[in-house]
Structure 1
Amino acid sequence: MSAAAILCGKRSNYFFEDFQSSPSSSSPPVPKRIRCFSSSFSPARSHFDSDHSFSAVNIFSGSSVSSSSALDHLLMLFPDMDKQWVERALEECGDDLDSAIKSLNELRLGSGENPRSVAGSSNATQDSSSQFFTQGTATTNGETTPAEDLSSAKVVHMDSTEWVELFVREMMSASNIDDAKARASRALEVLEKSICARATEATACNFQQENIMLKQQLEALIQENAILKRAVAIQHERQKEFEDRGHELNQLKQSVAQYQEQLRTLEVNNYALSMHLKQAQQSNSIPGRFNPDVF
């Protein structure tokens, strides 16, 4: 009989120790008299069962009362938040009132929207920092389900500080490891899309600038080509004019040569005529004065 009492005492001690170490409740520590209750246990089994059930009822009732009062206090502090959202924050903080208040304050400051509308949507466990996404990964009962593709319209121009804040808010809003992994995967996917979008935008901008530069160079080349064409046309006209003048010069040279030849011929003829005249005068036997106009 004493061995059975000792065994029942050990089991009851294990029950209270397990209840005290449970993370889901934030009730005050079990008094030492309850844990030592098994050591001073009476052999009467009925007396132990009645005391055990009475102590357990008191513990659970005290825990529910403290949780209810903490929830009421949080609802008074945050009247604009949904009750389910406040209960979830209180459960995640292990019924710690200070931690729950801090978490809800950070949530209110971090999100630019009303948490009541966020909590009432189908994405009940998604943080308000997911406002950067069009539709993210919805989390229901700790299980993540894929949603539509993420839109990077608002996250393309985010800087490193905003990305860090986004990751921190996502990790703080995670309810468990799977939810944290899903949030991290979603955030990394959006980051990758943002980087690709930025690279594409930078490439397009560089291509556009290069295209503008090439157009400017092409316009400059067209202008230079027009100038060169005009210069070639002017040079061609000058060359043609020079050739025409060269032909005229050659013709004038030929004319001068002809005139010189005619002049020599006339000089020879004149000399011959003068010689004939002298001979005629010497051979003339009629003296007298003659009209000079004849000669």
Structure 2
Amino acid sequence: MSAAVCGSKRSFFEDIPSSPSASVSKKLRRCSPSSPSSVRFAPLPSLLDHLQALFPHMDPELLERALLECGNNIDTAIKRLQELHLGAADATGEKMGPVEELGTTAEQGTVTNNGEAADTTAQIPSAPETLPVDGAEWVDLFVGEMMGASSVDDAKARASKLLEVLEKSISEHVAKEAAQSFHKYGFRTGRWKFDARSCAVQENMMLKEQIQVLIQENTVLKRAVAIQHERQKEYQDKNNELEHLKQLVSQYQEQLRTLEVNNYALTMHLRQAQQSNSIPGRFHPDIF
């Protein structure tokens, strides 16, 4: 049984056309003897998807056969495929870009058969040679680094390194803009003092105009207060006159009542006098 498996391993890696040398194929055949790779198992979909995310340019069939030959040990398969990829790059004379190197220099974490990732020590990536020029490129760079991280510690290390590079880039950009602004406003040639004087003169003129406006508004307010005071005085005089008239009316009413009472009393006295002086049967000599 083991002889048949070893023969199948030999036939699989000898059929790879992209192998640059026989040494690379031998490295791919070095699977862990302690792993359950003596019997072929179908590769888990999660492991195959993880390999496709790490090696998007490789043939999916090649990745599946590599997992089968290594007994679904993704750590060993990743190492062997990295060696194969690096060997092919050295043979063709190609060089990976700075962002791609950041994703491949870190050591990938091991994944168990249940799909759980085990933490491994990762190498801190180096800063890219060409920095992004806008926010979208920085976001793409951060996303690429986080996707290439093998563990939480690796992701923290990558994020810390990129944040240092971003902080340095922002500081340099701010210093450059400050130097340009000083040069623009004539700080070095002495024109900055002239601009300061002109600004002070303009500010003084604006303050004078504001003072004139405030004086005019104050005059208007004084006039309005004087008019309001006069109206208030007239209103008070009218109120006093009204109170005086009310008192006169009360006095006249009292006098009228007194006169009415006196008139009634005189009328009664007149009637009584007429009744007492009248003689029946005889007329008054002055009248008749």
Larger RCO (CA within 8 A; separation ≥ 6): 2
Q: TM-score, normalised by structure 1?
A: 0.31
Q: TM-score, normalised by structure 2?
A: 0.32
